[in-house]
Each structure stands twice: as structure tokens, then as C-alpha cells.
Structure 1
Amino acid sequence: MNDRRTAIKLTFREVDATTWPDFERLFAARGGPKSCWCMLWRATADEARRRDGASRRAAMAARVRAGMPVGLLGYHDGEPVAWCSIAPRASYRRLVSDGSPDDGVWSIACFFVVRPLRGSGVTRQLLAAALRLARRHGARVVEAYPVDADSPSYRFMGFVPLFEAAGFRETGREGTRRHVMRRELRAPMR
């Protein structure tokens, strides 16, 4: 068991064909999100009709094989222990209803951290790594949809104070629970 006061240092890798086995291992492990495979916000109308874990896994695998950005993994001692869904907003179904253009906007739609590491600062590290990844891919804005700590749902999207501490500002609400928060990114240094 982890002492929550001890900072856990992670390394990060984008999910692609080479890291897909690690992604599968994290999601399929005991306590992992093997029923959703992070397809809730990505599923097309046809994919949404197939709600079983195997179909969702296949849909995510197809995106990874096609080279679509889907997110990144956090590793501790060489083992995948955390996930952040970060990708171009256009690759998700509609996350916001404000009609704002998707061009250059990346969205953070989910976090997952293995239970023993929760509360140890892992999500903060994931968020920082996600911002770096989006910047490397040319994103100009990263958008997120966190909830308040007492929210009974959408908790996998993160909590408002995490994003405030990382320089995001609220730009609106989506539904009754999700805050829409954005952070402008500077171009990567060359």
C-alpha cells in the first residue's frame, strides 16, 4: 500500500500501437475500466448500440491502429498505473453545446488511477503531461469538463480545483454538473 504523503514519480507515454498492450493491461486489470474502455464520449451512433466491453475495446483498438490520438498512460516502476483521455475535441462526440469550433481544441474527458495510488498527486502529474502532449501535437487550447467534489456522477472527468490550479478558467457549464474549463497553450519551443 502507498503512503499518500509520499510523492509518486511517474513517466508518461502516449497510447499508440507500441503501448496498446500496456493500455489493455491497465484497463483489463482488477478494478480497471474494462466495461467502458474510455469510449463513452468517443462512440459513434453505431458503436454506442454495442455496449459490451469487448465491443468497446475493439472500437478503441481500431482508433489506436488508425493512429488517432486517444490519450496517455502513466507508469510507475515500469507498470501502467494511470490513464488520461486527451485527444482532439473533434474525435469525441459533442462534449459542449456552445457551437465553438473544434479546430485546435483538445479535450480531457477522463482520468483513471489504480486504487493504491489515488490521492498521491498522480492526477496532477497526468494533467501536466496531458498539456505537454497536446502542445506537442499543436493544440492551441485544452478544454476539460470537471465536476464539483460532491458530484454523484462524472467524477472520472476530474474535479474543478485540479484544473484551476493548472491555470484553467471556467467558460461555461454543460448540463447541471459539468463545468467547461479551458486553458490556452503557448506554441512549443523549438
Structure 2
Amino acid sequence: MASERLRFRAVTSERWADFERLFETRGAPGYCWCMVWRATREEAKHGDRGSRKAAMQARICEGTPVGLLAYDGEDAPVAWCSVAPRASYRRLVRDESPDDGIWSIACFFVLRPLRGTGVMRQLIAAAVRHARAKGAKMVEAYPVDADSPSYRFMGFVPVFAEAGFSEVGREGTRRHVMRLALHKPARRHSPSS
């Protein structure tokens, strides 16, 4: 596998089988199905693997944005990035400001053979492009320090800093809150005749 050949696709109902295949790979987050931050109070009462998988599948089939898959070529999903409107998550931050226009990057999963090859940087760049294309005004992330004993699936502070994110606060004792404002490209004016 070569990380420079990666292609990124939004998870849709048509890509459910790919998402399922990646999440059922050994070492993947199939225990949570990326529902920890998304589960409603009612869904949280049923925290078993099957219930979480069904809840994620329902969101995807309803057209709710959940994230991106990275493919090595066209067929093999090799990585995942949870990126969606912050309002679609239940409890990422205690920030009471309106969620309008804020998209959140909540977690990553990369197959072991590709770890340490720059895939996370590519996932962040793809997530930012995706959020911008969907009308986001800002992308927010919750990475940790490299020596953190938990939340490592949310990424690391230096990688987000390299991508242009700035720290704006903390959430709990481990997670940093980092943001990247998305500016629309300047419109080019054609010369007057």
C-alpha cells in the first residue's frame, strides 16, 4: 500500500459496505462504530456493538454526513476520518456558542501498515476540503498531546498545528480544542470591456 495513492470519499449509503468492511477489520473501532460522540441519550442506553452499528448505518442511510473513507486505489478502504457538522455530535464540547457553520473532526482510524506514513495529514486535508465544499465556515478538532494515555484516536496537536489549526481552549484535561477558519476563495473579477 502506498499512502500517496489515497483517494477520499464521503461515506454514503452506497459506500456502507466499504465502511462496514473497514470497521470490521482487526484492530478497527468496530466496538464503537464511531458513535461515542454521536449517540443520543436513548442510543447511549444501548451501548452494545450491534446497536451502535445499527445507529451509524441509520444515520448514513438517512444522508447524515459522518465522515470520509480513504481508499488505496478504488476498492480498498484503508482509513477513516469522522468529519461532520458539530451539531450532529452530542457532546464534543461544552461550548454554548451556535454550531452554525462549524464542522468537527472527531476521530481517525488508519490500518496498521499505513500508520506513520502521513495518512493522518492527508485525512485532515481531505476533511477540511470536504467541510469547505459543504459550506463549513470553520473546522474544529480535539487532539491530544503525543504522551496522552487516552483519546489518541482524535489525533495529535502538532499535526493539526502543521495543518494551520490554532488552539482556542481545552476540553477536559487531555483534549485541546483547535480551530481552522475557512475563508472562501476570493472571486476573480473579469476585466471590464
TM range (shorter): over 0.9
Deviation track 1:86-129 (CA, whole Å, cap 9, x = no partner) reads: 00000001211131210000000000000111000011000000
Partner of residue 47, structure 1:
43
2:180 is the counterpart of 1:179: no
Residue segments in structure 1 that go unaligned for 5+ positions in a row:
none
Alignment of 1:135-146 (within 5 A): 135-146=132-143
Higher radius of gyration, 1 or 2: 2
Partner of residue 112, structure 1:
109
2:57 is the counterpart of 1:61: yes
Deviation track 1:108-156 (CA, whole Å, cap 9, x = no partner) reads: 0000000111000011000000000000100000000000000000000
Alpha-carbon distance in structure 1 between the residues aligned to 2:87 and 2:14 = 24
Partner of residue 130, structure 2:
133
Partner of residue 149, structure 1:
146
Alignment of 1:3-22 (within 5 A): 7-22=3-18
Deviates more, 1:179-188 or 1:61-70: 179-188
* Secondary structure at 1:47 match in 2: helix
Alpha-carbon distance in structure 2 between the residues aligned to 1:81 and 1:39 = 19
C-alpha contact (below 8 Å) 1:15/1:69 kept by paired residues? yes
* Secondary structure at 2:132 match in 1: helix
Alpha-carbon distance in structure 1 between the residues aligned to 2:64 and 2:184 = 21
* Secondary structure at 1:40 match in 2: coil
Partner of residue 30, structure 2:
34
One-letter code of the match for 1:132? R
Partner of residue 84, structure 1:
81
| 1:187 Cα deviation from its structure 2 partner | 2.2
| 1:7 Cα deviation from its structure 2 partner | 4.9
Alpha-carbon distance in structure 2 between the residues aligned to 1:73 and 1:126 = 9
C-alpha contact (below 8 Å) 1:70/1:86 kept by paired residues? yes
Alpha-carbon distance in structure 2 between the residues aligned to 1:143 and 1:161 = 15
C-alpha contact (below 8 Å) 1:154/1:178 kept by paired residues? yes
* Secondary structure at 2:130 match in 1: helix
Deviation track 1:50-101 (CA, whole Å, cap 9, x = no partner) reads: 1111100000000011100000000013300000000000000121113121
CA RMSD, 1 decimal: 1.4
One-letter code of the match for 2:71? Y
Aligned residues: 186
- Identity across aligned pairs (percent)? 68
| 1:188 Cα deviation from its structure 2 partner | 5.7
C-alpha contact (below 8 Å) 2:138/2:182 kept by paired residues? yes
Alpha-carbon distance in structure 1 between the residues aligned to 2:16 and 2:152 = 25
Deviates more, 1:96-105 or 1:65-74: 96-105
Alpha-carbon distance in structure 2 between the residues aligned to 1:82 and 1:148 = 21
Partner of residue 155, structure 2:
158
2:67 is the counterpart of 1:75: no
Match of 1:122 among 119, 123, 142: 119
One-letter code of the match for 2:90? R
2:120 is the counterpart of 1:94: no
Alpha-carbon distance in structure 1 between the residues aligned to 2:6 and 2:63 = 24
